[in-house]
DNA sequence: GCTTAGGGTTTG
């Protein structure tokens, strides 16, 4: 799945046997394996991660030099890249670059009615897919960091290619021991990579050429993807930098430093479609000629197996065969055996073994319709293949090599006796070991064999396979990235950023992939939020100990006050206080409130500025708070006057209530120093009382969404500027509460309306300290709601 | 770090 950055403009490294097809001429269900499409990247979508190592990226390319009379506008087409190619494209290609695509398939564009682009899209996936990229005008000496990085990690092959040295190949009949050579050959035997006793995987193969020498080769590579992609005997392989050894009276080849390998289909007339195992490789017309020569020579030698693989319908008992199929489900049987449930769209004429598995151990559907069940084959894979089977996913297209159809009742692990007595049924076994090339390979989704298989499978109704185009349809439904012109739904943006960073907008998917500690700009919609009850969004925060606590509800506070008001125990007021007693009319007998005033304030004529109040209920306190600027509720404790428990407000100022931090306060009733102070506020009182004042903060958790992902973010430190309202006002003022309520209703309409406005937000990320390991926490900052959309327009009188 | 494997007459 390579991506090539061309150094000398397009054309220099693109295989010459391919012919270019105009974008306007692309039609569905046609084989374009011998064609290229060329266009300028006019839109580059975000890299979307569907699963680990499974990427998808959508881009739009536009033909620049189409026929003048073909259309008034140059044709554009959606191009969908899957897998590693998507990731490479995301990192390497920029808008404005020109790309040549090869090895693509053509599908129906699910977004054609919305984006009004080409009715088809180009799908680039798997091995045949290849992109050649050229920059508008590459600066001579200023290589991008990426280029530099690439060139340092390139294999020997490509660094030589950069120096444009001609690669020479040695015929298999001319090999001398003890040299490093480049060779071409036709594969006559191969094993899929298997784990060696050393550190690497090992591919063992045998090749031949016109010399008729059979040369054994061994490839050691740590990574599976760097192994030769051999699908069947007869494939043509090109290896660079293999070392010749003498072993058992013949020359063998082993990879050495700078090794690279490319394979090709070995059939005359098939598409060239190189299958490289390195990120870059060179392929010129001479290579093409060599492959074609080997193909026709091999055909004359009948080196290709007459029938490469056989369908289930042609399986005969006792035979060993290769099967090309799709995996629908799998289940472990025991530690040495795994069941693969596969189909190839044909029905085996023999009755097939049924295998019972433990419930809930099946990956993929655990049962199928009776009609589908008739087409399924149960394959038992053993020993070393169990490990490989673990990597397989339902939906994968597989080739299973040297599969055995065992007739009769066979003992199968996990079977009940009644099943094992099934007479004359076939069981498919992939025996342990790698002899005879036994193994499993995942075939790339758009390899010709898989394309053929897909055509067969698609003719069946209710296909449960993982369907890329369905996936795309789902993925393409919401609008794409912020810069995409194709935002179809609401385009109203109701917020703006006030930060000073110049970071480019990113998708949520991209944001999630970033390490914490950065700022991000996103354009998103609000999917949901918590808490739905606004009063729960208000919390109390201590700037000293950094703890956050809920605002106690009225019922609780009320119970604290009533408890204290019923306490008849006397207390001696402090010496500085002027105390008085008020009987509460109409209440239970003996209940009285006591009020205490600061003598100093009294002397300054500020009588109404502060009142210490004992024995009042919450309701009475609130009522009195309208007449006094500050009311501090107090109670008796062991004969002394103390503040109430700090879980209750320690101060009432009008409608506002103030709380102290229970951890950081050392509270005691003291006379505030009011000298030179015009107005006594909560800070002066808190300080006098030794109370660490808690800050009312507004916190919400918002679930954001865009076309690529969803993301939970917190609104806290910048919540007040976000809503243009102070948390303190929200805590005490109905109007401020209404404002938030309306804002949230507008961003996230109740009843699940999808027409949600867009928000331009600035996010910062940090590593969460007390959460589970490695969690990143996102916070909205420097962002303000600028307009509200109300569904019901309230007519304003002129 | 420089080994690993070097087909093969086919278990369940």
- Number of other CB atoms surrounding residue A381 within 10 Å: 28
Residue whose pair of structure tokens reads 């050649």 in the numeric block: A132
Q: How far is CA A338 from CA A342, A358, A400, in A?
A: 13, 12, 14
CA of A252 to C1' of B6 (A): 8
A200 touches strand B (CB under 7 A): yes
Q: What nucleotide is nearest A246 when CA is compared to C1'? A: B6
CA of A320 to C1' of B9 (A): 14
Nucleotides of B under 7 A from a protein CB: 1-12
Q: What nucleotide is nearest A320 when CA is compared to C1'? A: B10
Q: What nucleotide is nearest A198 when CA is compared to C1'? A: B4
CA of A278 to C1' of B11 (A): 38
A335 touches strand B (CB under 7 A): no
Q: How far is CA A626 from CA A607, A631, A652, A779, in A?
A: 14, 10, 9, 38
Interior/surface letters A338-363, b for 16+ CB within 10 angstroms, e for the rest: bbbbbbbbbebeeebbebebeeeebe
The radius of gyration of chain A from alpha carbons, rounded to an integer in Å, stands at 38
CA of A690 to C1' of B7 (A): 86
CA of A520 to C1' of B8 (A): 61
pLDDT at A556: 84
A320 touches strand B (CB under 7 A): yes
Q: What nucleotide is nearest A217 when CA is compared to C1'? A: B6
CA of A432 to C1' of B11 (A): 9
A114 touches strand B (CB under 7 A): no
Q: Residues for chain A: how many in total?
A: 798
- Which residues 462-491 of chain A have a CB under 7 Å from nucleic chain B? none
The closest alpha carbon to A464, from A546, A367, A603, A346, belongs to A367
CA of A261 to C1' of B9 (A): 32
A247 touches strand B (CB under 7 A): yes
Residue nearest to nucleotide B4 (CA to C1'): A198
pLDDT at A477: 32
Element spanning A219, H or E: strand A215-221
Q: A30-64: per-residue pLDDT in tens? A: 788 888 999 998 888 777 776 667 778 888 999 88
Q: What nucleotide is nearest A197 when CA is compared to C1'? A: B4
The closest alpha carbon to A605, from A660, A516, A678, belongs to A678
- Which residues 355-384 of chain A have a CB under 7 Å from nucleic chain B? 382-383
Q: What nucleotide is nearest A205 when CA is compared to C1'? A: B7
Contact A296, A311 (CB under 8 A): no
What contacts A94, CB < 8 A, 6 or more positions away?
A41, A44, A135
A412 touches strand B (CB under 7 A): yes
Residue nearest to nucleotide B11 (CA to C1'): A431
CA of A323 to C1' of B11 (A): 21
Burial of A395 (0-12, 13-18, 19+ CB in 10 A): middle
A24 touches strand B (CB under 7 A): no
How many whole angstroms separate alpha carbon A746 and alpha carbon A750? 9
A279 touches strand B (CB under 7 A): no
Low-confidence spans in chain A with pLDDT less than 50? 9-11, 138-163, 416-422, 463-489, 791-798
The closest alpha carbon to A210, from A236, A189, A229, belongs to A236
The closest alpha carbon to A503, from A144, A143, A774, A782, belongs to A782
CA of A6 to C1' of B4 (A): 37
Q: How many CA atoms lie less than 13 Å away from A7 in the CB half-sphere?
A: 16
Contact A393, A327 (CB under 8 A): yes
pLDDT at A239: 97
A241 touches strand B (CB under 7 A): no
Q: Which letter does DSSP use for residue A638 in this model?
A: T
CA of A227 to C1' of B3 (A): 18
The answer to whether the Cα torsion of A660, A663, A669, A673 is positive or negative is negative
CA of A358 to C1' of B9 (A): 37
Interior/surface letters A285-301, b for 16+ CB within 10 angstroms, e for the rest: eebbebbbebbebbbee
How many whole angstroms separate alpha carbon A386 and alpha carbon A393? 13
How would you write A480-507 as a 3-class SS string? CCCCCCCCCCCCCECEEECCCCCCCEEC
A213 touches strand B (CB under 7 A): no
In the beta sheet, which residues pair with residue A643? A634
A140 touches strand B (CB under 7 A): no
In the beta sheet, which residues pair with residue A785? A495
A191 touches strand B (CB under 7 A): yes
A451 touches strand B (CB under 7 A): no
């Amino acid at each position: 799945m390579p991506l090539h950055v061309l150094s000398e403009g397009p054309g220099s490294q693109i295989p010459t046997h391919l012919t270019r097809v105009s974008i306007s001429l692309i039609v569905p269900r046609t084989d374009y394996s011998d064609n290229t499409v060329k266009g300028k990247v006019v839109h580059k979508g975000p890299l979307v991660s569907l699963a680990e190592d499974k990427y998808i990226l959508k881009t739009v390319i536009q033909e620049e030099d189409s026929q003048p009379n073909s259309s008034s506008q140059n044709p554009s087409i959606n191009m969908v890249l899957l897998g590693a190619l998507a990731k490479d494209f995301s990192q390497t290609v920029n808008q404005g670059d020109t790309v040549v695509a090869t090895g693509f398939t053509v599908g129906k564009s699910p977004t054609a009615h919305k984006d009004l682009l080409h009715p088809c899209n180009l799908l680039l996936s798997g091995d045949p897919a290849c992109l050649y990229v050229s920059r508008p005008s590459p600066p001579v000496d200023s290589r991008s960091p990426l280029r530099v990085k690439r060139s340092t990690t390139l294999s020997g092959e490509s660094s030589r290619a950069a120096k444009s040295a001609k690669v020479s190949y040695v015929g298999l009949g001319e090999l001398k021991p003890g040299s490093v050579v480049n060779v071409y050959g036709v594969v006559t035997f191969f094993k899929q990579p298997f784990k060696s006793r050393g550190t690497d995987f090992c591919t063992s193969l045998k090749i031949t050429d016109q010399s008729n020498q059979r040369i054994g080769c061994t490839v050691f590579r740590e990574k599976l993807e760097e192994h030769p992609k051999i699908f069947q005997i007869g494939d043509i392989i090109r290896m660079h930098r293999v070392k010749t050894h003498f072993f058992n009276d013949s020359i063998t080849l082993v990879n050495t430093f700078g090794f690279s390998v490319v394979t090709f289909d070995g059939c005359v007339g098939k598409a060239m479609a190189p299958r490289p195992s390195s990120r870059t490789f060179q392929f010129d017309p001479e290579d093409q000629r060599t492959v074609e020569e080997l193909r026709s020579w091999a055909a004359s030698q009948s080196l290709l197996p007459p029938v490469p693989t056989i369908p289930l319908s042609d399986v005969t008992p006792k035979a060993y065969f290769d099967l090309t199929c799709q995996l629908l489900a799998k289940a472990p049987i025991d530690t040495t055996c795994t069941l693969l449930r596969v189909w190839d769209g044909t029905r085996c004429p023999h009755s097939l073994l049924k295998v019972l598995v433990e419930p809930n151990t099946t990956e993929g559907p655990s049962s199928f319709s009776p009609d589908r069940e008739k087409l399924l084959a149960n394959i038992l894979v053993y020993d070393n293949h169990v490990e490989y089977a673990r990597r397989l996913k339902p939906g994968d297209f597989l080739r299973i090599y040297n599969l055995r159809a065992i007739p009769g009742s066979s003992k199968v692990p996990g079977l009940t006796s009644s099943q094992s007595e099934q007479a004359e049924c076939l069981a498919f076994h992939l025996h342990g070991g790698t002899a005879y090339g036994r193994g499993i390979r995942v075939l790339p989704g758009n390899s010709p064999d898989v394309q053929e298989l897909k055509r067969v499978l698609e003719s069946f109704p209710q296909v449960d396979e993982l369907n890329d185009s369905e996936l795309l349809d789902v993925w393409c439904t919401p609008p794409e990235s912020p810069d995409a012109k194709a935002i179809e739904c609401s385009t109203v943006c109701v917020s703006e950023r006030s930060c000073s960073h110049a970071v480019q907008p990113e998708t949520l998917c991209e944001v999630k992939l970033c390490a914490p500690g950065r700022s991000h700009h996103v354009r998103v919609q609000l999917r949901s939020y918590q808490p739905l009850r606004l009063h729960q969004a208000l919390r109390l925060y201590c700037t000293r100990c950094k703890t956050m606590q809920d605002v106690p509800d009225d019922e609780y506070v009320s119970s604290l006050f009533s408890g204290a008001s019923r306490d008849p125990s006397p207390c001696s007021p402090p010496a500085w206080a002027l105390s008085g007693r008020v009987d509460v009319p109409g209440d239970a007998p003996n209940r009285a409130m006591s009020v205490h005033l600061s003598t100093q304030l009294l002397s300054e004529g500020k009588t109404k500025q502060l009142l210490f109040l004992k024995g009042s209920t919450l309701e009475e306190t609130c009522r009195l708070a309208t007449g006094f600027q500050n009311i501090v509720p107090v109670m008796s404790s062991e004969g002394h006057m103390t503040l109430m428990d700090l879980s209750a407000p320690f101060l009432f100022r009008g409608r506002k209530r103030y709380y102290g931090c229970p951890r950081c306060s050392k509270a005691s009733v003291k006379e505030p120093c009011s000298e030179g102070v015009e107005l006594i506020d909560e800070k002066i009182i808190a300080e006098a009382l030794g109370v660490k004042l808690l800050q009312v903060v507004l916190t919400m958790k918002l679930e954001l969404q865009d076309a690529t992902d969803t993301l939970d973010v917190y609104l806290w430190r910048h919540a007040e500027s976000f809503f243009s309202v102070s948390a303190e006002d929200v805590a005490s003022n109905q109007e401020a509460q209404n404002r938030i309520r309306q804002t949230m209703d507008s961003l996230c309409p109740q009843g699940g309306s999808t027409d949600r406005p867009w928000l331009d937000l600035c996010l910062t990320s940090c590593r969460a300290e007390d959460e589970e390991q490695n969690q990143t926490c996102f916070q909205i900052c420097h962002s303000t709601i600028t307009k509200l959309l109300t569904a019901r327009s309230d007519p304003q009188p002129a």
